[in-house]
Amino acid sequence: MNLIALTKQYLQFHCFQASTSPFYLFICFCAVCGFRLYQSVPANQMAKEVVNPDELVVVGEELDHVRIITLNRPRHLNVISSKVVSLLAKYLEKWERDEQAQLILIKVGAGRAFSAGGDLKMFYEGRKSKDSCLEVVYRMYWLCYHIHTYKKTQVALVQGISMGGGASLMVPMKFSVVTEKTVFATPEASIGFHVDCGFSYMLSHLPGHLGEYLALTGARLNGKELVVAGLATHFVPLEKLPELEKRLISLNVGDENAVKATIEEFSLHVQLDEDSILNKKQIIDECFSKDTVADIIKSFEVEASKEGNEWIGPVLKGLKRSSPTGLKITLRSIREGRKQTLAESLKKEFRLTMNILRTTISADVYEGIRALTIDKDNAPKWDPPILDQVDDEKIDLVFQPFAEDLELKVPEQEDCRWDGKYENSAYAK
């Protein structure tokens, strides 16, 4: 696959300028690939996962009272595969139960990505096998709940791309440290999917209607913007990140105040760039507070016609080219997330993911992948093709609860906190 060529196609698809630097193209490509690598291990009916069985995709280290998780597939942008999910769950459960473990660090070994998602082609190739991705989807959402509610102090050291499901290893941490090279986005709606891995909950709790804006447009935020938006806690220059890691290891305690004080020795006060999207709060809140996607677009069009709002044009074009079904599902999910608990949001997202992948009301997710990465014609044929034809009653179908034994099991009682695993679910029987 020619990375630069494919990314130029993405930029053209979303009406961005394609004549830009290779690094920027690389970043945009990774935004699209922010999808989870939804595939399971069993061979015959499952999407194949191209992982060397001897490859250490996640490395776990124990140093006195400090535990370190290193995402270790830099050439593959540290994709979230089924093997990665299993190892993360294994380490986190073990260390939460270990009285000696006090501080958990999660970082990358090398490369430009913290975690940028997975292989859309592999996702696409599993489309004809029933529930080819069910196991890893279940395990990932179950893991997301435990990351959010973890009992030990966690610090994410985030250099590079952190998108889609990869960002679920950053945002929920007690401390998330970003740099000038950090790039975040949730671009799933554009190809017929929805914001998942807890982001219908996290984005819905951002100030104003920034969450709707990020979810529907897939807009990117840099490190400074992440801190201001509340999606990260500290900004540290990339060159200082190795020294910060050493200091945290030598600190050797999980006391939150001590950890915070150590990070703040290295962190900088952030000041937004003049053209930051976060400086457009009034317009975003005005437009993205509307009740429907159609009304949001109409309001955005009005703002685009005003002097000084040239930045809206490319965003609006990308929005209009996105899957109408994906946009409607995403907006509703975000709005519901405001009123839901984390557990309720994750259960809802599990249903949405499975119903979308089962093409319960539309095959847009596979058509979006086809147009972008398979045939590369950048001409998706959405079904239905326009917002007005997306039946709200059909949207209701993908939000319907499953039978109780088929729901995601999120153990909310402390005495059974690590119950509810996939292998004990109805799906594994």
Q: Which two tokens stand for residue 5?
A: 């060529």
> What is the C-alpha to C-alpha distance for residues 416 and 79, in angstroms, rounded to an integer?
30
Q: Are 69 and 88 in contact (CB under 8 A)?
A: yes
Q: Are strands 221-222 and 183-185 parallel, antiparallel or unpaired?
A: antiparallel
Q: Are 181 and 159 in contact (CB under 8 A)?
A: yes
3-state SS class at 330: helix
How many C-beta atoms surround the C-beta of residue 120 within 10 A?
A: 22
Q: Are strands 66-71 and 58-63 parallel, antiparallel or unpaired?
A: antiparallel
3-state SS class at 103: strand
Beta bridge partners of 157: 177
Q: Where are the alpha helices (H) located in 274-386, listed in sequence order?
A: 281-288, 293-304, 312-321, 324-337, 342-357, 364-369
> What is the C-alpha to C-alpha distance for residues 253 and 261, in angstroms, rounded to an integer?
12
Count the alpha carbons within 13 Å of 170 in the hemisphere toward its beta carbon. 33
Axis crossing angle, helix 82-97 with helix 134-148, rounded to the nearest 10: 30
CA angle at residue 43 from 37 to 47, to 5 degrees? 30
Positions marked catalytic: 118, 165, 188, 196
Q: How far is CA 122 from the centre of its chain?
A: 18
- Which DSSP symbol is given to 416? G
Q: Among 302, 231, 282, 242, which residue's Cα sits nearest to residue 266?
A: 242
Sequential DSSP letters for 172-209: TSSEEEE-TT-EEE--GGGGT----TTHHHHGGGSSTT
